[in-house]
Structure 1
Amino acid sequence: MTVDLTQAAWRKSSRSGDSGGNCVEVASNLLGIVGVRDSKNTTGPALIFSSGEWSAFLRGVKGGEFGR
């Protein structure tokens, strides 16, 4: 499946800092999908999740489901 990400508004966590570390960017402004990409390779591939999948992931993170 090909998804058009040209209108994606990518954002990075404010906790990422400016040191160029391992960061991801998220685009959640697209209808029904959320894009995730490597902030060091912005022209590279992106992972695409449904809005429901992304919400379930965030609930798991906030609930401590994935540990440290």
Structure 2
Amino acid sequence: MSTTQLAWFKSSYSGTEGDNCIEVALNWRKSTYSGTQGDNCIEVAPTPTTIHIRDSKDLTRPHLALTPTAWGAFVTHAAAQAN
């Protein structure tokens, strides 16, 4: 994976004076449930404490950040609706 595929952002633990800056990267992956024609594309970037979700058609928009528990509840609910 190249570093251009990662979404880098400044850690909240970094200093505000420009020193002690740490950048963290999210590794975005396209959902296996997304369409193959470039439509309905949802990307996720899991971390130990947060599941980040975004619409890959418009990367400038904010993304959702859910706890793993909330993400699990959403996936369970979505799967039940699909049946």
After TM superposition, the score normalised by the length of structure 1 is 0.69
2:62 to 45, 52, 57: 45
Gaps of 5+ in 2: 1-10, 12-23
Bigger strand fraction: 2
Give RMSD over aligned pairs: 2.1
After TM superposition, the score normalised by the length of structure 2 is 0.59
Gaps of 5+ in 1: none
Report the structure number with the largest CA radius of gyration. Answer: 2
1:23 to 41, 52, 63: 41
Task: Give the CA deviation at 1:41.
Answer: 1.4
Equivalences for residues 1-68 of structure 1 within 5 A: 6-15=24-33, 16-17=35-36, 19-28=37-46, 30-62=47-79, 64=80, 66=81
- Sequence identity, in percent? 33
Report 1 or 2 for greater relative contact order, CA contacts < 8 Å, sequence distance ≥ 6: 1
